[in-house]
Amino acid sequence: MNGNPLVSIITPCYNGEKYLARFLDSIVAQTYDNLEFIFINDGSVDKTENIFNSYISKFKDKNIKYRYVKQVNQGQAAAINAGLKYVSGKYITWPDSDDVLYSENISKKVEFLEKNQDCSFVMCQAEAVDVNMKQLYTMKRQHTNNENLFKDLVVENNVFFAPGLYMISADAFFKVNSKKEIIVSKTGQNWQMLLPMAYHYKCGYIDEILYKYVVHRGSHSRSARDYASEIERFSHHENLLNQLMDDICKDDCSYFKGLIKEKYSHIRLKLAWKYNKKDALKKEYTYLESIGKLNELDKKYYRYCKSKVVCGAYQLCRRLWHLYQGLVRRN
């Protein structure tokens, strides 16, 4: 009987054929020997299923328990929910299907959590890479003894949301999430996995790079948008965070909702400057001024937007840049 606790790996995947084999190789290469791999094919129409099936014999050779779940495309949050239903491990991790786990990713996290019973989840460091595995930067949280990880996750201060950084206790997670599911939304699944844990439990840190996070320059989150779609995207974020505060927080709910409102007011001010929406910029500027939270960047955006010359030059540069990016993509 294997003495190591079972670890459940949940991975959603939609049309992942381009990078999936590299990810699955990193699962097979894990030095840890008690894994449950729950793979959710979220309505892929490429060769994702064929690639997964080609690894079944490798999973069996490494005694990796596996479960293949196929569903119509519903997005990552719904896919994670599908995986959570099958979790039987002591610990849970949910890496993306285009990233790469170092071979000791699982073993070192389990070792840490088993030795540090006061911690119910743990994060490591990662290297952000491009699609060719060229290193771009290191993802490392500068942590202190008096930190507030929950607050930092809410306001996105000195934190990273690459899911393969984290491993959580299944018992702890299901205690604060008895429904065994997260809210189905377009974005924010990592907030939903991490915020309940950070509010109620202590997080540990492994000061070592154990994960490669692939940055896609042309991904949905990084692609060019218009003002309305960007405002809509961040509104979804803000609404989800406020809903999570209602579900998670106690007496300090209004405090964190205030931080959320301030955070997205800064974002909307920047977007108003970016797209030359002067009325919207003035509205956000006035609000931040009224609560004493204007920063130097806000003031700079406000000055620039009032200047027709500066604003016109910026808009011209944006149009030229998007034209150049379109030519690059076509070539």
pLDDT in tens, the chain (331 residues): 357 999 999 999 999 999 999 999 999 999 999 999 999 999 999 999 999 999 999 999 999 999 999 999 999 999 999 999 999 999 999 999 999 999 999 999 999 999 999 999 999 999 999 999 999 999 999 887 778 999 999 999 999 999 999 999 999 999 999 888 999 988 889 999 999 999 999 999 999 999 999 998 754 444 457 899 999 999 999 999 999 999 999 899 999 999 999 999 999 999 999 898 999 999 999 999 999 999 999 999 998 876 654 555 555 555 555 555 555 444 4
> Per the structure block, which two tokens stand in for 243?
């809903």
Q: Which of 45, 47, 33, 41 is nearest to 5 (CA)?
A: 33
Domains by residue range for the chain, with CATH: 7-214 (3.90.550.10), 231-330 (no CATH)
β-pairing, 202-214 vs 119-129, is parallel
Q: pTM of the entire structure?
A: 0.88
* Distance of alpha carbon 328 from alpha carbon 322, whole angstroms: 10
DSSP E strand stretches across 74-214: 91-93, 100-101, 119-129, 135-139, 166-169, 202-214
Task: Please name the amino acid found at residue 32.
Answer: Y
CA distance 24 to 273: 43
> Which sign, positive or negative, has the C-alpha torsion 267, 280, 274, 309?
negative
Cα 209 from Cα 177, distance rounded (Å):
29
Q: Please name the helix (run of DSSP H) or strand (run of DSSP E) that holds residue 229, with its range, or none.
A: helix 227-248
